[in-house]
């Protein structure tokens, strides 16, 4: 029921996802009358769907604490997350209030052993293909331990999506030199460098322009800078698209040039389309929760559903659990390491 449009995007998005992934089945939580009327338009989807009616909906402007207090146990958002906890569903996908979704998911599913705070990971289009970037908005600030945990979880997600046994990981920083950046980032970098992990290759520090280049498979940062980077990239893509539309329609010769190069422009439009990589994965929870952009359309929501399916099929939870278990077994003395970093 969440997002800017609600069921009018969610149901058609599910229909698109089902068309591409026939093994899917759906549980819809929300206003049964509205959802049922939409499902009637998609007989194939209706045949593999079940509706659970709820009277309470979390609003997009609700504060997380307010949503948790008023919507717990009875809202569509809580019920959909609870379905993952009880194994009725393999994954939860929502376009609703991000803060409320994170608060409810954390309260309902709890965090995995050793994880202080869950993070949001996003797929990032690059010149080399795609990368994983995390955290893109769950937390403001992160200490060295949390950055190291994010590296492990991001590598597990990259392994699940890209099929890589040891994806490369970089820490986002203001420079690639080891002396640059805030103390927590330098400490995390030192730990990742000195304690090799079986599931990842530590590349070192990366800068903002490395995001688009695809220098590494996984870019780790804290949620404040990660969210700004994400929104900047989305805005830049829209800006470039607008520039191209204006330039191609300015003169008759420009319109003719567009017709002659339409295939190339179509490819560029496909690359710049944020709907193709819609969906942020909540990592660090005992279950899979996908956050779709609230303003997306059916195509974007279908992409978020397919992302959730990929996480299930490729056993994301087991990969994260293995990585975290190794990290806990080889857990460094962060206090001692911090003293050494400060001395250096």
Distance CA 255, CA 165 (A): 47
- Domain positions in the chain are 7-109, 119-275+322-343
User: What is the pLDDT tens value at each position of the chain, 344 positions in all?
Assistant: 988 899 999 999 999 999 999 999 999 999 999 999 999 999 999 999 999 999 988 888 888 888 888 767 789 999 999 999 999 999 999 999 999 999 999 999 999 988 888 999 998 888 888 899 998 988 888 899 999 999 999 999 998 888 888 999 999 998 888 878 889 999 999 999 888 788 899 999 999 889 889 999 999 999 898 889 888 887 877 787 787 777 777 777 767 766 766 676 566 666 666 677 788 999 999 999 999 998 899 999 999 999 999 999 998 898 888 888 876 665 555 555 555 555 55
Backbone angles phi, psi at 47, to 5 degrees: -70, -20
Spatial strand order of the sheet with 168-172 comes to 91-94, 288-291, 280-283, 119-126, 129-134, 218-220, 168-172, 201-206
pLDDT at 312: 94
Angle at 277 between CA 153 and CA 241, to 5 degrees: 140
Q: Are 226 and 132 in contact (CB under 8 A)?
A: no
Distance CA 11, CA 35 (A): 7
Distance CA 334, CA 10 (A): 44
pLDDT at 268: 60
pLDDT at 232: 85
Q: Are 192 and 169 in contact (CB under 8 A)?
A: yes
- Evaluate whether the domain defined by 119-275+322-343 bears CATH number 3.40.50.300: no
pLDDT at 77: 93
Q: What is the dihedral of CA 339, 207, 304, 240, to 10 degrees?
A: 160
pLDDT at 340: 57
């Amino acid at each position: 029921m969440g997002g800017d449009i609600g069921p009018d995007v969610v149901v058609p998005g599910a229909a698109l996802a089902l068309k591409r992934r026939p093994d899917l089945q759906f549980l819809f939580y929300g206003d049964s009358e509205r959802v049922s009327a939409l499902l009637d338009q998609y007989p194939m989807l209706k045949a593999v769907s079940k509706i659970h009616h709820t009277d309470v909906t979390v609003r997009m402007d609700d504060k997380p604490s307010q949503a948790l207090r008023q919507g717990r146990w009875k809202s569509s958002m809580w019920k959909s997350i609870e379905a993952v906890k009880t194994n009725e569903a393999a994954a939860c996908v929502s376009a609703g209030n991000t803060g409320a979704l994170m608060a409810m998911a954390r309260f309902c599913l709890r965090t995995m052993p050793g994880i202080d705070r869950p993070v949001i990971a996003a797929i990032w289009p690059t010149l080399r293909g795609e990368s994983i970037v995390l955290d893109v908005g769950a937390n403001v600030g992160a200490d060295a331990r949390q950055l190291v945990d994010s590296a492990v979880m991001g590598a597990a997600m990259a392994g699940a999506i890209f099929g890589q046994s040891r994806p490369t990981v970089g820490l986002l920083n203001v420079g690639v030199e080891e002396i640059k950046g805030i103390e927590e980032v330098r400490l995390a970098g030192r730990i990742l460098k000195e304690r090799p992990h079986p599931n990842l290759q530590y590349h070192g520090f990366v800068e903002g322009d490395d995001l688009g280049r695809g220098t590494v498979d996984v870019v780790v940062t804290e949620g404040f800078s990660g969210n700004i980077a994400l929104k900047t990239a989305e805005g830049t893509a829209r800006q470039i698209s607008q520039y191209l539309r204006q330039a191609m329609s300015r003169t008759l010769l420009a319109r003719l040039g567009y017709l002659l190069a339409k295939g190339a422009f179509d490819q560029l439009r496909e690359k710049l389309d944020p709907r193709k990589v819609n969906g942020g994965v909540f990592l660090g929870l005992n279950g899979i929760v996908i956050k779709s952009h609230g303003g997306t359309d059916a195509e974007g929501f279908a992409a978020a559903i397919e992302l959730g399916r990929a996480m299930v099929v490729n056993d994301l939870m087991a990969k994260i659990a293995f990585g975290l278990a190794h990290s806990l077994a080889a857990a460094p003395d962060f206090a001692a390491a911090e003293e050494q970093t400060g001395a250096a």
